[in-house]
Amino acid sequence: MNKKVLIVGGVAGGASAAARLRRLDENLDIIMFEKGQYISFANCGLPYYIGERIKEREKLLVQTPEAMKERFNIDVRVNSEVVSIDSKNKKVTVYSKDKGEYNENYDYLILSPGASPLKPPIEGINRQKNIYIKNCTRYR
């Protein structure tokens, strides 16, 4: 029976880990969960998107779930959030907008959920019109 790897997070770290694992072992069952609707987007391009030098959000998308399945045979589940981890029994609970709540067992677990923007403690920062953005779905 194939070993199963679950990856929590489908942007830079999670998508890179999934692709690398597939290159190392063609027999792994790899499932990647992303709570948003997009995976593997170019975070470094967000300032250009906000500044409207990049007009279309789709130009920030590096991979799609369909492309990851076709190219790497990775089961990508978007709009799916891992809400709890039971490391003793090696299972996670997932909440999917499409399927509701369910459990998924694993042999290995990779956590790459990303981070939230930090508002630095700078005097007067609240007087400015600042935008704090995590990904390409939070703007426009």
CA distances to 20, 60, 94, 117 from 127, rounded to whole Å, are 45, 31, 40, 18
Q: In what order do the strands lie in the sheet with 108-111?
A: 75-78, 29-34, 4-8, 108-111
Task: Give the residue numbers marked as catalytic.
Answer: 44
